[in-house]
A and B are shown apart, each in its own frame.
Chain A
Amino acid sequence: MAVEEAVQHAGEAVEHAAPAIHVALAPEQIAALWGFPITNTLLTSWVVMLLLAVLTFYVRRNLSMIPGKFQTFIELLFGYVHDFIETTLENAVWARRMFPLLLTLFLFIATANLIEFTPGIGSILVHYGGETVPLLRSMNTDLNVTLALTVIAVLAIEIAGIVALGFWRYAGKFFNFSSPLNFVVGIIEFISELSRFVSFSFRLFGNIFAGEVLIAVVAFFVPYFLPVPLMAFELFVGVVQGAVFALLTLFFVKMAIMEPHGSH
């Protein structure tokens, strides 16, 4: 396929042009456990989970009816997210159901992107399988991570649609035999539904990966000063990407649980 060759050539071209800049699309394996590969992005995702666990522990320990400053912030965030979901879905029950998934998607992705420039990530090297590879690597620069999140998000969307409308009525949104036009529209909808696997995963992966590559290139040619504002911008992009991922999931859930057209 042309795309594959282009991708491979692109990788080679970068490596040939500037050997000092190491760009790898795939995550590097750093260990193996019971036949399962442990990659540096997987290790980073565990670090992110640990950070969120610490946050949970801290919030839980100080939880009280009269909130402190940090608790107020957490409550404001949760309350805002919950109210936003409820406004969008126009349904309190569905808002309560989707709230944990959407907030976790945001917190997981945003936290991972916020720590991407922490010293140590990408700079601590380990030897594994005869290669020298970084121990930690920004989580969302691995398509495995973003694809896994995408599969979960898309499954949640489809399951929400089936639970809200029932299997046959939900399937009827895509396989509609009432008229040729509706049939074609349904098929197009089905394809756009499938295309979410690609759009969700590659949007997040592409944004964060491109940011990393950009910082690497800039750091190589104009070190010390120019990377700083770019890093700040990439952190902003990282949080925005977390929000975008959760928001798109929310909007697609809204579309999935809505009554099919022409049913009223």
Chain B
Amino acid sequence: MDGLISAFGIDWRLLVIQGVNFAALLAGLTYFLYTPVMKLIDERRERVAEGVRSAAEADRKLADAKTTGEGIVGTAAREAEVLVATARSRADEKGNEILKAAEVRAAGVLAEAAVNAEEAKRKALAESSKEIARTAVLAAEKILREKSA
């Protein structure tokens, strides 16, 4: 065994130095290289996950907004229809009212005209009978005068 150890130059002091060497390298690389790089990788992974999450959130919000918008437009269209229908029926009502009022007035005017006409006729009759009487008197006077002359 001693021969083997000396043939390979095994020396416990060298083993210790190499062990300490490696431990120092391990500690140094862990502290200065692995930890910062792995931290950076983790951070970036977290950020990417965050980005994906917020993109999904944005998509969801967009879809929500679309649904809401469509709902609003639909409601507005329905309301507009109702409004138009109401307006139309009201306009119809109003038109009828106006028509009726016009008819009533026309009837009024007609009746008045009829009354007026009756009055004018009566007056005319009365006047014509007066005229006839006067003419008859004049005619009688004339006849009397001729006879007396």
Contact = CB atoms under 8 A, between A and B. Distances in A.
- Interface size of A as a range: 35 or more
Given A82-B38, A148-B22, A104 B17 contact: no
A60 B33 contact: yes
> Of residues B10, B26, B30, which shows the largest number of chain A Cβ atoms within 10 Å of its Cβ?
B26
Nearest to B9: A26
Chief secondary structure at chain B's binding surface: helix
Contact of B7 (A26, A45, A53, A63): A26
Contacts of B15: 144, 147-148, 151
Interface string B9-33: 1110111011101111110111011
Contacts of B3: 1, 4-5, 7-8
A145 B17 CA distance: 9
Contacts of B37: 59, 63, 74-75, 78
Interface string A41-83: 0100110010011011001100101000000001100110010
Contacts of B43: 65
Contacts of A143: 8-10
- Interface size of B as a range: 35 or more
A53 B18 contact: no
Contacts of B34: 78, 99-100, 103
A75 B40 contact: yes
B9 A100 contact: no
A148 B28 contact: no
B36 interface: yes
Interface of A: 1, 3-5, 7-8, 11, 25-27, 35-37, 39, 42, 45-46, 49, 52-53, 55-56, 59-60, 63, 65, 74-75, 78-79, 82, 99-101, 103-104, 107-108, 142-145, 147-149, 151-152
Given A55-B33, A143-B9, 8 more contacts: A25-B8, A27-B9, A59-B33, A60-B33, A82-B38, A108-B25, A144-B9, A147-B10
